[in-house]
Structure formats: C-alpha cells, structure tokens
Amino acid sequence: MSGQDQALNARTAALQNLIDRRDIGAVLTRYSRALDRADLDLMKSVYWHDGVDNHGVFNGNAAAFCAFIIREIQNWFEVTTHNLLNVRIEVEGDHASAETIHYAYHKVRAEKVGEIFGSRYRAMFDRARLDREHHVFYAGARYVDLLSRRNGEWRILQRQVVSDWNDNGPSGEVLDQGMFATLQPRGTRDGADLVFANTPAEAARTGAG
C-alpha cells in the first residue's frame, strides 16, 4: 500500500470512530429524553429487541423494562431529569462499551414517599406535613453499557446501572412565587413539551421570518 493510501485509510478509520462516538452519544441522550418525557416508543428504540437492562429496581429484557419504567416513573415521580456527565466510549468494529456518569433529580409524589424512601425516612416527618409536602432525591450512578451495530445502527445490548450515592430530603421547590413564578414554560410528559417542536425545520422557519 502506498503512503498516500495508508494516510487515506487512517483518515477514514479516524472519521468512522468519530461518527461511531457521535451515534452512540445520541443513543445515550435519547434514553434520557425518552425517560424524562415518558415516551415509551422512543425508549424502546434505544435497545436491541433482545437487549437486557439490569437497573436494580428491574432486571431483565429491555422492552419489558421500558414498559415497566415508563409506567412507574409517572406513578412515582412528578418530575425527573436524567443528566449525563462524563461519557467514556470504546469502539471496536461493530461493538462498543460505554460508561456514563448520571446525575438525576426526582420529585417524588406525596403518596409515594413511604414506598420510595422507606419507613425510617417517613417516620422523620409529621404525617400531616407528608400529605402536602414533596420530597426529592438526587442520585449519582453510572450507566455501564455494551452496544452493538446492526445494519449501520448502534443500540444497547446490555445496560448495567451501578449506584454510587443518593441524597434525599424535603423539596425546596418554589413554583408560584418570586422569580420562579416567571419561569414558564415548564417541562411536560405528554408529548407537548417544547422540545418536540424544536427542529432544524423550525429554525429555518424562524430564519425566514
């Protein structure tokens, strides 16, 4: 092979690796969007049909996990955000591994405080207060993923959630007073969230005035 061919091959391999990382990154963030917007079909598109998710709270087939978690996340929590921080991806051909640090906020429904936090936590608070106050938890964890590419598309084969820490307490949220009253719109789970209309086509319409 000539030096020029070698340089071309190295360039193609480098570009392929960058493209794979981009595509895997999009799978990882698509999961957060699906979960926080409670979009079951979108979440299923993150995993292969034979994929597995070992989430601790559910361990097994990924499609069954999706049905479980999209239902329960709405039962347990009023609001969630699943932020992804450090993303470490390794790609070899059609297979990849990824470790992604995840820092999440969960606002627990008042009636679910005992179920989520347990009896010791519940006993710390006045029963009447529990009925009208909200509690939140932050969780620090890592998504430890194995992925494969089939017909040019990357999806998760196996996800293992590793929990590092959690932090629970009464909600300090203010929605209707002070500066917070002005902070509209709010995120929703019903498909009406503003993100779904936020497309390149919409940018083109905005640009056309």
Partner 1 sequence: MAVSDADIEDLIARRDIYEVLTRYSRALDRADVELMKTVYWPDGIDNHGVFNGNAAEFAEFIVREIQNWFEVTMHGLMNCHIDVDGDFAAAETYLFAYHKVRAEKAEEIFGSRYMAMFDKKGLDPNHHHFYFGGRYLDQLERRNGEWRILKRQVVMDWNDNRPSGEILDQGMFATLEPRGERGQGDLVFSNTPAAARKLEAAE
Binding site for partner 1 (CB under 8 A): 11, 14-15, 17-18, 21, 50, 56-57, 76, 85-88, 90-97, 99, 101, 103, 114-121, 124, 137, 140-142, 144-148, 157-158, 160-169
Nearer to partner 1, 27 or 96 (CB): 96
Least Cβ distance, residue 179 to partner 1 (angstroms) = 19
Give the distance between the most distant pair of CA atoms in the chain. 79
Tell me the closest approach of the beta carbon of residue 27 to partner 1, in angstroms: 13
Q: What is the smallest separation between the CB atom of 75 and partner 1, expressed in angstroms? A: 12
- How far apart CA 37 and CA 79 sit, in angstroms, is 9
Looking at the Cβ atoms of 13 and 181, the one nearer to partner 1 is 13
* Tokens (6 digits) for 108: 């627990």
Beta carbon of residue 9, minimum distance to partner 1 (angstroms, whole number):
13
- Residue 64 tokens read as 């069954």
Would you say 59 or 181 has its CB closer to partner 1? 59
Instruction: Write down the least CB distance from residue 110 to partner 1, Å.
Output: 15
| CB nearer partner 1, residue 45 or residue 148 | 148
Identity of residue 89: I
The residue (of 48 and 67) whose beta carbon lies closer to partner 1 is 48
Cβ-based nearer residue to partner 1, 169 or 187: 169
Please give the Cα distance from 144 to 112 (Å, whole number).
28
What is the smallest separation between the CB atom of 184 and partner 1, expressed in angstroms? 25
Burial 175-197 (b: 16+ CB within 10 A, else e): eeeeeeeeeeeeeebeeebeeee
Taking alpha carbons only, the member of 178, 175, 160, 181 closest to residue 78 is: 175
